[in-house]
Amino acid sequence: MSRMIQLENLHKGYQVDGHIVPALQGIDLSIEKGEIFGVIGHSGAGKSTLIRCINLLERPTSGRVVVDGTDLMNLDDRQLQEQRRQIGMIFQHFNLLSSATVAENVAFPLKLAKRPKAEIEQKVTELLTLVGLEAHRNKYPAQLSGGQKQRVGIARALASDPKVLLCDEATSALDPQTTNSILALLRDINRKLGLTIVLITHEMHVIRAVCDRVAVIDGGKIVEMGNVVDVFLKPQHPTTQEFVEQVADSVELKEIVSHEKADKDRTMIRITFLGSQTYQPVLFQTMLETGTPFNILQGTISRMKDTPYGQLIVELEADQEQVNKTIGSLRQRGLEVEVI
């Protein structure tokens, strides 16, 4: 893969009561062509500022913003406007023209670019079909649901055939079912068009559903970054651990751990399965071989984008030697095992 976006030593500060308040501090980030990259953080962490620096809606105080080989910080206004056509953006509250129809909203950037009328008509039809709204082309935004409005926003953002799509909290105003349908659409667009997608969110399930890699931002700094599978299953920073707990049964787990701690001949382990292992009877085979009695206290099977994974909390009723033997056998089979 080759690089689509490169942010180097990015700083952004705002003047407040005569003082500079830092919003971003030394951000270094590389995003590859064709990947879906997520940025997650709490409110005020700097994620909105970060995504708006990518197309210079917010101009960084210092640093470099390179998109597809061009440093946007070195461009004049006309050149920057030209480059921005290569960067589509969708917003939390849709930002649609209320007095324009669905088709007119999608056509708007094409009219600004003075494209021929026949070309605009063809492109609008093509995009409305892509987002599943062809039957609603003559409706107005007030007649649409939240999910339909966001689909219009996506179609409009794709009108100029951008190389990059920025999603600024694109699903946070939507209910869970609608969120899932929009995320499925973004995955579909990413695959069909090979589009590089950058999305920011405060919801870990959004990252888990669509992203290839993720950066966790806290206090204007990136505190953790990596493949979603690695970050999700082995969160290192306390902020990341908080977000992972959003989609994990952590409360129940804490209750189980505190309830079961008393017995010294019982050991609790967390076993993580990835990929094809998730659907194989590895645990059963191991326990059969080692003769270790066990109880499954908690378990889940899910997916992170295209990767199936599972986690089991298992109680082993055995002495330490037998426990070590069992854990060793599980690890030999390629499983992640952690003693809780």
Architecture of domain 3-246: 3-Layer(aba) Sandwich (3.40)
Looking at the domain that runs over 250-339, which CATH code has it been given?
3.30.70.260
Condensed to tens digits (0 to 9), the pLDDT of residues 65-80 reads 999 999 999 999 999 9
Q: What is this structure's pTM?
A: 0.82
Q: What is the number of other CB atoms lying within 10 angstroms of the CB of residue 10?
A: 23
Condensed to tens digits (0 to 9), the pLDDT of residues 109-147 reads 999 989 999 999 999 999 999 999 999 999 999 999 999
Residue 251 has a pLDDT of 43
Residue 276 has a pLDDT of 79
Please calculate the CA angle 159-165-169 and round it to the nearest 5 degrees: 115
Q: What's the pLDDT band for 250 if we cut at 50, 70, 90?
A: very low
Please give the single-letter amino acid code of residue 335. L
Higher pLDDT, 258 or 315: 315
Contact 222, 29 (CB under 8 A): yes
| Domain locations in the chain as residue ranges | 3-246, 250-339
Residue 264 has a pLDDT of 56
Straight-line distance from the first to the last Cα atom of the chain, in angstroms, rounded to the nearest whole number: 38
Residue 338 has a pLDDT of 85
In angstroms, the CA 330 to CA 165 distance is 42
Residue 6: partners with Cβ closer than 8 Å, 6 or more residues away: 29, 30, 31, 64, 65, 66
Residue 256 has a pLDDT of 52
The pLDDT of residue 229 is above 90: no
